[in-house]
Amino acid sequence: MTTISTIKLGIPGDIIRLSRIGLGTVPMSVVYGAVDDDESVKTLNHAIDIGCTFWDTADTYDLGHDERLLFRVLKKRRKEVFLCTKFGLTARERKSGDGGNFIDYINGINGKPDYVRQAAEDSLEHLGIDYIDLYCIHRVDPTTPIEETVAAMAELVKEGKVRFVGLSKVTPDQIRRVHKIEYSAWSTHVKADGVLDTCRELGITVVVYSPLGHGVLAGNIRNIDDLDKDDWRRTSSPFRPVNFENNLKLIDSFESMVKKYNRKPEQLALAWLLAQYDNMIAIPRTKRSKYLEEDVVVGQIKLSDDELQELRKLVDIASIQGARY
Protein backbone atom coordinates (compact mmCIF):
# COMPACT_ATOMS: atom_id res chain seq x y z
CA MET A 1 0.00 0.00 0.00
CA THR A 2 1.26 3.47 -0.92
CA THR A 3 2.28 5.71 1.97
CA ILE A 4 0.87 9.18 1.34
CA SER A 5 3.08 12.14 2.21
CA THR A 6 1.54 14.56 4.69
CA ILE A 7 1.89 18.10 6.00
CA LYS A 8 0.90 19.78 9.24
CA LEU A 9 -2.02 22.18 9.34
CA GLY A 10 -3.45 24.14 12.23
CA ILE A 11 -2.73 26.39 15.14
CA PRO A 12 -1.23 25.65 18.56
CA GLY A 13 -3.63 23.29 20.32
CA ASP A 14 -5.24 22.08 17.10
CA ILE A 15 -2.52 20.63 14.86
CA ILE A 16 -3.35 17.83 12.43
CA ARG A 17 -1.60 15.99 9.63
CA LEU A 18 -3.19 15.99 6.18
CA SER A 19 -2.45 14.06 3.01
CA ARG A 20 -0.71 16.25 0.39
CA ILE A 21 -2.88 14.66 -2.28
CA GLY A 22 -6.55 15.24 -1.56
CA LEU A 23 -9.78 14.70 -3.48
CA GLY A 24 -11.85 17.30 -5.32
CA THR A 25 -15.40 15.96 -5.51
CA VAL A 26 -16.95 18.30 -8.09
CA PRO A 27 -16.83 15.64 -10.90
CA MET A 28 -19.30 13.65 -8.79
CA SER A 29 -21.88 16.35 -9.54
CA VAL A 30 -22.39 16.45 -13.30
CA VAL A 31 -19.78 19.08 -14.20
CA TYR A 32 -17.59 16.58 -16.13
CA GLY A 33 -20.48 14.66 -17.70
CA ALA A 34 -22.72 11.84 -16.52
CA VAL A 35 -22.34 10.68 -12.91
CA ASP A 36 -23.10 7.54 -10.94
CA ASP A 37 -23.74 8.21 -7.25
CA ASP A 38 -23.06 4.61 -6.23
CA GLU A 39 -19.71 4.65 -8.04
CA SER A 40 -18.88 7.97 -6.38
CA VAL A 41 -19.63 6.54 -2.93
CA LYS A 42 -17.28 3.64 -3.67
CA THR A 43 -14.59 6.14 -4.71
CA LEU A 44 -15.08 8.14 -1.51
CA ASN A 45 -14.76 5.06 0.67
CA HIS A 46 -11.71 3.95 -1.30
CA ALA A 47 -10.15 7.37 -0.78
CA ILE A 48 -10.34 6.91 2.98
CA ASP A 49 -9.02 3.37 2.74
CA ILE A 50 -5.84 4.53 0.98
CA GLY A 51 -5.31 7.57 3.18
CA CYS A 52 -6.61 10.29 0.82
CA THR A 53 -8.65 12.05 3.49
CA PHE A 54 -8.63 15.75 2.54
CA TRP A 55 -11.89 16.29 0.63
CA ASP A 56 -13.01 19.46 -1.10
CA THR A 57 -16.62 20.27 -2.00
CA ALA A 58 -18.89 23.35 -2.16
CA ASP A 59 -22.50 24.22 -1.51
CA THR A 60 -23.09 25.08 -5.18
CA TYR A 61 -21.75 21.82 -6.62
CA ASP A 62 -24.94 20.57 -8.28
CA LEU A 63 -26.83 22.91 -5.98
CA GLY A 64 -26.20 20.91 -2.81
CA HIS A 65 -26.21 17.42 -4.31
CA ASP A 66 -22.46 17.04 -3.88
CA GLU A 67 -22.64 17.76 -0.15
CA ARG A 68 -25.60 15.40 0.25
CA LEU A 69 -23.69 12.70 -1.59
CA LEU A 70 -20.76 13.01 0.82
CA PHE A 71 -23.22 12.51 3.70
CA ARG A 72 -23.66 8.90 2.58
CA VAL A 73 -20.05 8.27 3.59
CA LEU A 74 -19.60 10.82 6.36
CA LYS A 75 -22.47 9.43 8.43
CA LYS A 76 -20.30 6.39 9.17
CA ARG A 77 -16.73 7.70 8.67
CA ARG A 78 -16.81 11.38 9.69
CA LYS A 79 -13.77 11.21 11.97
CA GLU A 80 -11.62 9.79 9.16
CA VAL A 81 -12.09 12.78 6.83
CA PHE A 82 -10.84 16.38 6.86
CA LEU A 83 -13.63 18.18 5.04
CA CYS A 84 -13.41 21.48 3.18
CA THR A 85 -16.54 23.10 1.82
CA LYS A 86 -17.01 26.52 0.27
CA PHE A 87 -19.65 29.24 0.09
CA GLY A 88 -20.16 32.57 -1.64
CA LEU A 89 -21.53 31.69 -5.06
CA THR A 90 -25.31 32.03 -5.28
CA ALA A 91 -27.53 30.18 -7.73
CA ARG A 92 -31.06 30.44 -9.04
CA GLU A 93 -33.50 27.64 -8.36
CA ARG A 94 -33.43 24.69 -10.74
CA LYS A 95 -36.92 23.69 -11.79
CA SER A 96 -38.08 20.21 -12.71
CA GLY A 97 -36.97 19.35 -16.24
CA ASP A 98 -34.22 21.97 -16.39
CA GLY A 99 -31.01 20.68 -17.95
CA GLY A 100 -27.38 21.74 -17.73
CA ASN A 101 -25.03 21.61 -14.75
CA PHE A 102 -24.71 23.81 -11.69
CA ILE A 103 -22.45 26.36 -13.43
CA ASP A 104 -25.40 27.32 -15.65
CA TYR A 105 -27.39 28.33 -12.54
CA ILE A 106 -24.81 30.47 -10.73
CA ASN A 107 -26.06 34.05 -10.66
CA GLY A 108 -24.01 35.99 -8.15
CA ILE A 109 -21.60 36.27 -5.23
CA ASN A 110 -22.59 36.94 -1.63
CA GLY A 111 -20.19 37.49 1.26
CA LYS A 112 -22.52 39.36 3.60
CA PRO A 113 -22.33 38.19 7.25
CA ASP A 114 -25.94 36.97 7.40
CA TYR A 115 -25.43 34.93 4.26
CA VAL A 116 -22.19 33.42 5.59
CA ARG A 117 -24.05 32.04 8.59
CA GLN A 118 -27.01 30.76 6.59
CA ALA A 119 -24.74 29.08 4.03
CA ALA A 120 -22.79 27.35 6.79
CA GLU A 121 -25.96 26.10 8.47
CA ASP A 122 -27.23 24.76 5.14
CA SER A 123 -23.94 22.96 4.45
CA LEU A 124 -23.92 21.39 7.91
CA GLU A 125 -27.43 20.09 7.25
CA HIS A 126 -26.60 18.76 3.77
CA LEU A 127 -23.47 17.02 5.05
CA GLY A 128 -25.14 15.70 8.19
CA ILE A 129 -22.27 16.89 10.40
CA ASP A 130 -21.93 19.27 13.34
CA TYR A 131 -18.73 21.05 12.28
CA ILE A 132 -16.80 21.87 9.10
CA ASP A 133 -13.03 21.35 9.18
CA LEU A 134 -12.15 24.05 6.64
CA TYR A 135 -14.68 26.67 5.53
CA CYS A 136 -13.64 28.72 2.50
CA ILE A 137 -14.85 31.76 0.64
CA HIS A 138 -15.45 30.44 -2.89
CA ARG A 139 -15.26 33.91 -4.40
CA VAL A 140 -14.78 37.31 -2.76
CA ASP A 141 -17.89 39.50 -2.82
CA PRO A 142 -16.84 42.82 -4.40
CA THR A 143 -19.71 44.62 -2.62
CA THR A 144 -18.77 43.47 0.90
CA PRO A 145 -15.46 44.27 2.65
CA ILE A 146 -13.57 41.00 2.97
CA GLU A 147 -12.94 41.81 6.64
CA GLU A 148 -16.70 41.60 7.30
CA THR A 149 -16.99 38.25 5.55
CA VAL A 150 -14.06 36.76 7.44
CA ALA A 151 -15.32 38.19 10.74
CA ALA A 152 -18.56 36.27 10.22
CA MET A 153 -16.55 33.12 9.50
CA ALA A 154 -14.54 33.72 12.69
CA GLU A 155 -17.79 33.75 14.68
CA LEU A 156 -18.53 30.27 13.36
CA VAL A 157 -15.10 29.16 14.59
CA LYS A 158 -15.86 30.54 18.06
CA GLU A 159 -19.14 28.60 18.08
CA GLY A 160 -17.41 25.34 17.16
CA LYS A 161 -19.18 25.01 13.81
CA VAL A 162 -15.95 25.58 11.85
CA ARG A 163 -12.34 24.64 12.71
CA PHE A 164 -10.35 26.64 10.15
CA VAL A 165 -11.19 29.31 7.56
CA GLY A 166 -9.77 29.77 4.08
CA LEU A 167 -9.84 32.07 1.06
CA SER A 168 -10.12 31.25 -2.64
CA LYS A 169 -9.13 33.40 -5.63
CA VAL A 170 -7.75 36.28 -3.59
CA THR A 171 -4.98 38.83 -4.04
CA PRO A 172 -1.88 39.25 -1.85
CA ASP A 173 -3.45 42.45 -0.49
CA GLN A 174 -6.65 40.62 0.49
CA ILE A 175 -4.64 37.89 2.19
CA ARG A 176 -2.75 40.47 4.21
CA ARG A 177 -5.95 42.31 5.08
CA VAL A 178 -7.41 39.25 6.79
CA HIS A 179 -4.12 37.72 8.01
CA LYS A 180 -7.40 27.49 -1.86
CA ILE A 181 -6.25 28.64 -5.11
CA GLU A 182 -6.02 27.22 -8.69
CA TYR A 183 -2.42 26.42 -9.60
CA SER A 184 -0.71 24.00 -11.92
CA ALA A 185 1.59 24.04 -14.91
CA TRP A 186 -1.66 24.87 -16.74
CA SER A 187 -2.50 27.91 -14.57
CA THR A 188 0.46 29.68 -12.95
CA HIS A 189 -1.18 33.01 -12.13
CA VAL A 190 -0.88 32.27 -8.40
CA LYS A 191 2.90 32.53 -8.69
CA ALA A 192 2.82 35.42 -11.17
CA ASP A 193 0.35 37.42 -9.05
CA GLY A 194 2.45 37.05 -5.91
CA VAL A 195 -0.15 35.01 -3.99
CA LEU A 196 2.14 32.02 -3.53
CA ASP A 197 4.99 34.22 -2.28
CA THR A 198 2.65 35.93 0.17
CA CYS A 199 1.40 32.61 1.55
CA ARG A 200 4.98 31.37 1.85
CA GLU A 201 5.98 34.54 3.72
CA LEU A 202 3.05 34.27 6.13
CA GLY A 203 3.22 30.50 6.56
CA ILE A 204 -0.24 29.93 5.08
CA THR A 205 -1.17 26.52 3.73
CA VAL A 206 -2.14 26.58 0.04
CA VAL A 207 -4.83 24.20 -1.22
CA VAL A 208 -4.57 23.78 -4.99
CA TYR A 209 -7.56 22.80 -7.10
CA SER A 210 -7.30 21.46 -10.65
CA PRO A 211 -3.60 20.53 -10.30
CA LEU A 212 -3.92 18.54 -13.53
CA GLY A 213 -5.43 21.42 -15.50
CA HIS A 214 -8.95 19.96 -15.52
CA GLY A 215 -7.49 16.64 -16.69
CA VAL A 216 -5.47 17.98 -19.60
CA LEU A 217 -2.07 17.54 -17.94
CA ALA A 218 -2.76 13.82 -17.54
CA GLY A 219 -2.43 13.60 -21.33
CA ASN A 220 -5.84 12.02 -21.92
CA ILE A 221 -7.55 14.94 -23.66
CA ARG A 222 -6.31 15.82 -27.11
CA ASN A 223 -9.57 16.93 -28.67
CA ILE A 224 -12.75 18.57 -27.42
CA ASP A 225 -14.64 15.56 -28.75
CA ASP A 226 -12.88 13.45 -26.10
CA LEU A 227 -15.27 15.07 -23.60
CA ASP A 228 -18.89 14.07 -22.92
CA LYS A 229 -21.45 16.26 -24.66
CA ASP A 230 -22.61 17.71 -21.33
CA ASP A 231 -19.11 18.17 -19.91
CA TRP A 232 -18.66 21.71 -18.54
CA ARG A 233 -15.17 21.95 -20.04
CA ARG A 234 -16.66 22.19 -23.54
CA THR A 235 -17.80 25.72 -22.72
CA SER A 236 -14.75 26.73 -20.68
CA SER A 237 -12.54 29.38 -22.25
CA PRO A 238 -9.23 27.40 -22.22
CA PHE A 239 -10.98 24.56 -24.09
CA ARG A 240 -12.41 26.66 -26.91
CA PRO A 241 -10.82 25.61 -30.22
CA VAL A 242 -8.83 28.81 -30.75
CA ASN A 243 -7.32 28.51 -27.25
CA PHE A 244 -7.12 24.75 -26.88
CA GLU A 245 -4.95 24.30 -29.96
CA ASN A 246 -2.39 26.67 -28.43
CA ASN A 247 -2.66 25.13 -24.96
CA LEU A 248 -1.83 21.66 -26.25
CA LYS A 249 1.71 22.93 -26.88
CA LEU A 250 2.41 22.60 -23.15
CA ILE A 251 1.13 19.02 -23.24
CA ASP A 252 3.38 18.28 -26.21
CA SER A 253 6.32 19.64 -24.20
CA PHE A 254 5.36 17.36 -21.33
CA GLU A 255 5.32 14.42 -23.74
CA SER A 256 8.95 15.04 -24.65
CA MET A 257 9.90 14.83 -20.98
CA VAL A 258 7.71 11.75 -20.51
CA LYS A 259 9.87 9.92 -23.04
CA LYS A 260 13.15 11.39 -21.84
CA TYR A 261 12.69 10.53 -18.15
CA ASN A 262 10.28 7.60 -18.46
CA ARG A 263 7.59 9.37 -16.45
CA LYS A 264 3.82 9.71 -16.86
CA PRO A 265 2.44 13.19 -17.64
CA GLU A 266 0.51 13.33 -14.36
CA GLN A 267 3.66 12.34 -12.47
CA LEU A 268 5.48 15.33 -13.88
CA ALA A 269 2.56 17.69 -13.26
CA LEU A 270 1.87 16.75 -9.64
CA ALA A 271 5.50 16.29 -8.61
CA TRP A 272 6.46 19.65 -10.12
CA LEU A 273 3.54 21.34 -8.37
CA LEU A 274 4.26 19.94 -4.89
CA ALA A 275 7.92 20.90 -5.25
CA GLN A 276 6.96 24.59 -5.46
CA TYR A 277 5.99 24.88 -1.78
CA ASP A 278 6.26 22.45 1.12
CA ASN A 279 3.06 23.72 2.74
CA MET A 280 0.79 22.81 -0.17
CA ILE A 281 -2.04 20.32 -0.69
CA ALA A 282 -3.23 19.35 -4.18
CA ILE A 283 -6.81 18.18 -4.74
CA PRO A 284 -7.10 16.44 -8.13
CA ARG A 285 -10.73 16.05 -9.18
CA THR A 286 -12.15 12.64 -10.01
CA LYS A 287 -15.21 10.46 -9.56
CA ARG A 288 -13.48 7.12 -10.25
CA SER A 289 -11.37 5.03 -7.88
CA LYS A 290 -8.79 4.07 -10.50
CA TYR A 291 -7.87 7.69 -11.22
CA LEU A 292 -7.83 8.50 -7.52
CA GLU A 293 -5.34 5.69 -6.89
CA GLU A 294 -3.13 6.89 -9.75
CA ASP A 295 -3.15 10.45 -8.40
CA VAL A 296 -2.19 9.31 -4.91
CA VAL A 297 0.67 7.16 -6.21
CA VAL A 298 2.13 9.80 -8.52
CA GLY A 299 1.85 12.41 -5.78
CA GLN A 300 4.60 10.64 -3.85
CA ILE A 301 7.18 10.85 -6.64
CA LYS A 302 10.14 13.21 -6.25
CA LEU A 303 11.71 14.79 -9.32
CA SER A 304 15.42 15.44 -9.71
CA ASP A 305 16.76 19.00 -9.81
CA ASP A 306 17.35 18.62 -13.56
CA GLU A 307 13.75 17.54 -14.13
CA LEU A 308 12.38 20.41 -12.06
CA GLN A 309 14.53 22.98 -13.87
CA GLU A 310 13.53 21.66 -17.27
CA LEU A 311 9.85 21.69 -16.32
CA ARG A 312 10.15 25.22 -14.98
CA LYS A 313 11.51 26.37 -18.35
CA LEU A 314 8.67 24.64 -20.23
CA VAL A 315 6.02 26.17 -17.98
CA ASP A 316 7.55 29.66 -18.23
CA ILE A 317 7.68 29.44 -22.03
CA ALA A 318 4.12 28.14 -22.36
CA SER A 319 1.37 30.74 -22.55
CA ILE A 320 -1.94 29.14 -21.60
CA GLN A 321 -4.82 30.96 -23.30
CA GLY A 322 -8.34 31.43 -21.95
CA ALA A 323 -9.83 32.90 -18.79
CA ARG A 324 -10.55 30.83 -15.68
CA TYR A 325 -14.16 30.33 -14.63
Active site amino acids: 61
Residue 239: CB atoms within 10 Å: 19
> What distance in Å separates the CA atoms of residue 315 and residue 309, rounded to the nearest whole number?
10
Q: Which amino acid is at 292?
A: L
Length of the chain: 325
DSSP string, 201-260: HHT--EEEE-TTTTTGGGT--SSGGGS-TTBGGGGSGGGSHHHHHHHHHHHHHHHHHHHH
Q: In the beta sheet, which residues pair with residue 55?
A: 23, 83
168 C-beta neighbours (distance < 10 Å), count: 18
Please enumerate in sequence order all residues whose Cβ is within 8 A of that of 161, keeping only pairs 6 or more positions apart, or say none: 120, 124, 130, 131, 132
Contact 152, 144 (CB under 8 A): no
Phi and psi of 20, rounded to 5°? -75, -20
CA 110 to chain centre: 20
What φ, ψ does residue 181 adopt, rounded to 5°?
A: 165, 125
Q: Provide the 3-class DSSP secondary structure of residue 61.
A: helix
The CA distance from 228 to 286, in Å, is 15
Residue type, 278: D
Tell me the one-letter amino acid at 4.
I
DSSP 285: B
